Amino acid sequence: MTGDSIERAGRGGPARRSELRDLMRAFLREQTSLAESDQDTFEWTSVTTADGLPHTWIYDLFEDSNGTIWVGTWGGGLARFDGRTWTTYSKRDGLASNAVTSIREDSRGRLWIGTDRGLTLYDGQRFTKAGLTGKSILTLHVDGDDNVWAGTWRSRLTGGGLHRYDGQRWESYGKRDGLPGVEILKVFEDSRGRIWIGTYDHGNGAGVGCWDGTRWQNFRVEDGLLDNCVYSMFEDPDGRMWFGTLAGVSVYDGRDWYRMTTADGLVHDRVYAMLIDAEQTMWFGTEGGVSRYDGRDWTSYTADGELVDDLVRSILQDRDGGLWFGTYPFAPGYGGISIARKPAQRDSLEQKAARYLPQRPAREINPGTS
């Protein structure tokens, strides 16, 4: 890493420039430079409406237990890819709305589908209403006990808040219950079973909250976050929590906070999606493209070369190792999905997709929103 913006906030005081890098090396695959490693060369494919997508504003990507890829689009409904063909589902099929924001699977193999107008359940045969009618859902999570958590926004119109379904009834949480805010961008469960939320709250943000089963503990900028709007999060193998904010990435180890920005290698400070892949490299989806860090080197991919668009809203690694990047440009006619695969993945889902999807380079476009 380069730059001086990686620092530790809180009780520990300023950290050494290399301290976060040292922490990351514990679980990232450090190697020779990307230029010297053929195995880090990717082949890129773009998927748009010309290839079968119903819409190019991609909000969520999800792979179910059967290896089927599901795509939530804002305006085109739900898309399903079986490795060969695309199928589209819309309100005519039973979806609550054609603005699909989140897809998750429970232990029975059923899909819970969050939309801008409520929750839909798909049992493999049909779509049925599943509650929260009229609520604008942004994020879903099915926890280890099969409880369904739904984070909502548009609080002035529909109330917002966090909602949990235990199989029998819904329970709602708001500020009076200890939530930091009522417009929820992300719900995440860590390895200890704690529920974390990231907030939006009319664009100002309210920080993150952590539910340990008894009470909420909340964190804001004054505690160490770079920004109070938190779009993405994950837990690294050492138990640290990572938060993608509108001002960079904040990392919390339970005591101290660490910060990562463009000065350290990110292509843009607005971070909407994060992933550690199967080869222990890190990916950050931002408003300016995707950044990859392998423990030593940073590489960024943008619409000037590999990506179909710059604003990356979601990242998925499928079971065959292929990396899917869903873009959301806010501009009609732009966006879609970019898929990266390594040449060695000859039998991957992307190779199967190539028999159906035309193999062509990503379009070079300027969405005008970054």
| Residue pLDDT, tens place only, 302-333 | 999 999 999 999 999 999 999 999 999 988 88
Q: What is the mean pLDDT of residues 209-223?
A: 95
Whether 182 has a pLDDT exceeding 80, the answer reads yes
Structure confidence at residue 36 as a pLDDT band (50, 70, 90): very low
Among residues of the chain, what percentage have pLDDT more than 70? 83
Residue pLDDT, tens place only, 223-246 = 999 999 999 999 998 899 999 999
This prediction has a pTM of 0.86
R_g of the chain, CA atoms, integer Å? 20
Whether 356 has a pLDDT exceeding 80, the answer reads no
Whether 275 has a pLDDT exceeding 90, the answer reads yes
pLDDT of the residue at 283: 96
Q: Return the higher-pLDDT residue of 35 and 28.
A: 28
pLDDT of the residue at 32: 41
Beta-carbon contacts of 356 under 8 Å, excluding residues fewer than 6 positions away, are 52, 84, 85
Q: What is the mean pLDDT of residues 207-233?
A: 96
Q: Return the higher-pLDDT residue of 169 and 32.
A: 169
Q: How far apart are CA 33 and CA 296, in angstroms?
A: 7
Which domains does the chain possess?
8-31+43-354 (2.130.10.10)
**DSSP-based three-state secondary structure for 121:** strand
Structure confidence at residue 28 as a pLDDT band (50, 70, 90): confident
Whether the CB-CB separation of 126 and 133 falls below 8 Å is answered with no
**DSSP-based three-state secondary structure for 267:** coil
Phi, psi of 19 (to 5 degrees): -65, -45
Q: How far apart are CA 335 and CA 349, in angstroms?
A: 21
Among residues of the chain, what percentage have pLDDT more than 90? 74
Q: How far apart are CA 290 and CA 303, in angstroms?
A: 10
Q: Report which DSSP code applies to 15.
A: P
Residue the block writes with tokens 């476009």:
365
